[in-house]
Structures are given as C-alpha cells and as structure tokens.
Amino acid sequence: MILVAGSANLDFVVRAGHIPGPGETVLGRDFQTFPGGKGANQAVACARSGGVTTHLLAALGNDAFAQPIEASLGDAKVILRDVRIEEHPTGTAFICVSDDAENAITVAPGANAYLMPEHLVELRGFTHLLMQLETPVETVLAFATAARSAGLKVVLNAAPARSLAANLLAHIDILVVNEGELASIAAHDGSIAECLARIDVPTVVVTLGHRGCCARQYGQFHFQNAFSIEAVDTTAAGDTFCGAMTAALCRGKSLGEALHASSAASALACLTLGAQSSIPTQADVQAWLTHIQTQHNQDTTELQAFCGLHPGHPNYE
C-alpha cells in the first residue's frame, strides 16, 4: 500500500500554436480545466496504472476548485486523506500546451503551501511513501524522516527543480529527477553518469524525455528506451512515470521491470489532453505493451552513450 503526500491543483489549460515568450500575447484555442497537481497525479497513477491501493495526503481549500479534484481521485479509487485550509484556496496551475505537445506551467500553490509536518497520517500498513517538491521542503523532510523510521521506502520526485540539503537526501531511498533537476541537485553540468556519481542516494532514476530513462541502483546502471509515439500533451507524463514505477516496485517488481512498465504508462499518458484524465489503466498499459513489444527498440547503446557511459566503463552493459 502506497502513501502519496503532495500537491493537488485544479489545472487551467489552454491550447495554442506555440508557448508565448516574454512579453508576447498568443491567441489560444481550446480551454478546459482538469484536476492536477504532482501529488494527486502521482496518486492516480499509482492506483490506476499501477493497480495498487493508494492514499493521498494533500491540503485543499474549502472552495469549489477542490470538488473536481475530489471527484477525480474518487474515480481512480484513491483514498483522500485531506487537510482543509480554510483561509487559503485550493492550489491552481495555469498551463499552455503548444501544438508540438510541449507545455509551460505556472503554479499558484494556495493550500499546498500549508501542508505541515503535524499533518502526517498513521504510517502502519504502508510500504512506500511517494513525495514531490510542491509542498514545503520542511514538511517533505519531516515526512521522509518519519517514514524511514517506520520502515517505509521513501521515493522523492525532486520537482520542481531545486538544490536539496544532504539531510533530506539521507532519508531518500529512490530519487526521481529529469536532466535539469539532476544537474541542480548534483551542482554539476557534466554527463548524466558524472552527475549521478555526486548524489549519495541508493537509487536514482533520471527521466530523459524522448530518449527514455536511466537509473543507477547501488552502482549498477539500468537503461530503458522511450516508446515511439506522436505526443498530444506531455503535462502528466513525468507524474505518470513516478506513480507507475512506485506501484510496480510496491508489487515486488525489479527496478528494470518497473522502468519498463512506467515508461509505457508515461507514453500512453502523452496521447490524451489533461493531467489525471490522461493517465491510463493497468489493463491499457499491458494491452499496449503486448501490441507494441515487437516494434520497440531494445538496443540501449545510444542511450548509454548519451548518459556518458561507453565501452570500457565498469558499468557499461
């Protein structure tokens, strides 16, 4: 059973030809609202793509913006352990999605900024705690410390990017980052392999967009090529990856198996507009993998080279 602690937002999404630059006004097209927030998205992915009983600890305002979030979590069978912040609104995100499926996101944290250490729920029965950085870092540290003491595996998706103190990293079992987040934490602009060598966490997973992902677990590297798709919206791709991966590990899968399943779930999430609405079911992921498996490139030589590994490296596969 997984506990996700993190943010819950209502996303305001507009599609446009391209993402506006500084001072630029762009005429958009379709506008919709979707339940989102990294914490809520990852909880839905754990439950829907991963098929694991999932609880979400999140702070919400006492307002209308909370209602579609509650409904979406209910549809995904996520058990909401909500903290109501009367004097602050539910968090919101303003997202522009371009025709090439890229996005620009501005978040107004609202109630998310008031999830405090004392709000942590009873940890008995949970095997994994999954968190992000859209809630106060002091709360993330307190939750990680308590979870480690209770014997849970602590998974942190270090997004949005920021430097992290050594005392927080010391309480993390699995760190999930993209390239920018990896460089920020490592305080280094070298190769993926060089940055990973500077991070003292047992398992670090790096998502690499259209290239795929790599991971270093106790010094051993794992590589997973991305699945080839025509993306519509990448908004929840990273969150889907984190949730599906954590769920696979919770079910006893190896890290390599978890990377494979979560990469597939993430790819499918890019085929539909929206955050939680785009996250596929476990059955959808398995059916798609069965269909696409023979077409997927299993040779990771190019990915290994991109990450800075080469023939002769002690961890070269």
Residues taking part in catalysis: 239
> Would residue 2 be called left, alpha or beta, if left means φ above 0 and alpha means ψ between -120 and 50 degrees?
beta
Q: How far apart are CA 191 and CA 27, in angstroms?
A: 39
CA distances from 73 to 15, 157, 176, 268 (A): 24, 20, 23, 19
3-state secondary structure 114-175: HCCHHHCCCCCCCCEEEECCCCCHHHHHHHHHHHHHCCCEEEEECCCCCCCCHHHHCCCCEE
Maximum CA pair distance of the chain? 59
Backbone angles phi, psi at 85, to 5 degrees: -105, 100
Q: What's the order of all strands across the beta sheet hosting 153-157?
A: 79-85, 54-61, 2-5, 128-131, 153-157, 174-178, 203-207, 212-217, 220-225
CB distance 286 to 245 below 8 Å: no
CB distance 22 to 146 below 8 Å: no
Supply 97's token pair.
């999605």
CB distance 251 to 52 below 8 Å: yes
Write out the DSSP string of 223-237. Answer: EEEPPP---S--TTH
CA distances from 228 to 167, 268, 276, 284, 297 (A): 39, 10, 22, 17, 9
Q: How far apart are the first and last CA of the chain?
A: 33
| The pairing of beta strand 220-225 with beta strand 54-61 | unpaired
